[in-house]
A and B are shown apart, each in its own frame.
Chain A
Amino acid sequence: QVQLVESGGGVVQPGRSLRVSCAVSGFNFTDFGMHWVRQAPGKGLEWVAVISHDGSRTFYADSVKGRFAISRDDSKNTVSLQMSSLRVDDTAVYYCARDLWNYLFDYWGRGTLVTVSS
């Protein structure tokens, strides 16, 4: 069955960097684009970034553009989000999600919590 498992969350100080990753299984990874979506504590869902199925295209939300970078490793079936210059308002659970079609997300992980605090 399809599984997405995020890891790498934790507590980090403002201005520092953190990398979160998502390991996937149960489907042909190279057939699908992958996204990161975040959810601040007690808040709704915010799309963050996407990488195309072949890794050739990436797009970001304005709130993270220039600070975050999404990448994928097809040999390990993983997608990662490198987060730099972190701010307090980046605190959230970060979910990876599979792109079924044009930003329609058909499978999600359980998320990893990133807390930015001094």
Chain B
Amino acid sequence: DGGITQSPKYLFRKEGQNVTLSCEQNLNHDAMYWYRQDPGQGLRLIYYSQIVNDFQKGDIAEGYSVSREKKESFPLTVTSAQKNPTAFYLCASSNFYNEQFFGPGTRLTVL
């Protein structure tokens, strides 16, 4: 089955620690995205990538970093510079019509 997978489902971060969220897709989509969702809020764009080895900052990129070494993979690192990282993180990829398909999400909590 084609789809997007994210891991882990739950992640706990200690102060000063960097953590990496995984996102993999087998839909053969060129474009991939990372969003952050806070309780009761809509989605805010962190980073997006339209092609391998290229990515762009979204509205809230500070404290986050990404890489796009393979078409299928778009990992997100939450660095210690992100002071309030507790949120639900959603990865997506898009088709020709820019319809975005979302992974199941990673819930990150700061201890």
Partners in one complex: no
